[in-house]
Amino acid sequence: MADMEMVHRARGRPVYMMDYFTSMVTPEYLESLREEFQILNNIDLVVPCPNDLASRLPSGHITLLVEFFQVGLHCLSTPF
């Protein structure tokens, strides 16, 4: 693990720079993304909780950046 990537350790786990960015995501924003990128309704879009860290999400969740969709990512209708 590169020193530049890891700022410090919390409870024995690395904490990365991305963990220090506060999410500006709202339910309305997620719905606008659903419409813009044609994300199916059977895919749950979740607003991060204040204590969620991008590098350590609750089980069953993933972080996707808007830029991924802007360069062509599409959500599948089946689990991957």
* Domain regions of the chain by residue span: 25-80
Indicate whether 44 pLDDT > 50.
yes
Residue 41 phi/psi, 5-degree rounding, is: -70, -20
> Quick one: pLDDT band at residue 62, thresholds 50, 70, 90?
confident
Residue type, 18: M
Indicate whether 73 pLDDT > 50.
yes
Residue whose structure tokens are 């506060």? 22
Contacts 24+ apart (CB under 8 A), 2-5: none
pTM: 0.65
Question: How high is the pLDDT of residue 4?
Answer: 46
* 40 or 22, higher pLDDT: 40
CA pair distance 37, 9, nearest whole angstrom? 36
Give exposure, 16-28, as e/b (b: 16+ Cβ within 10 Å). beeeeeeeeeeee
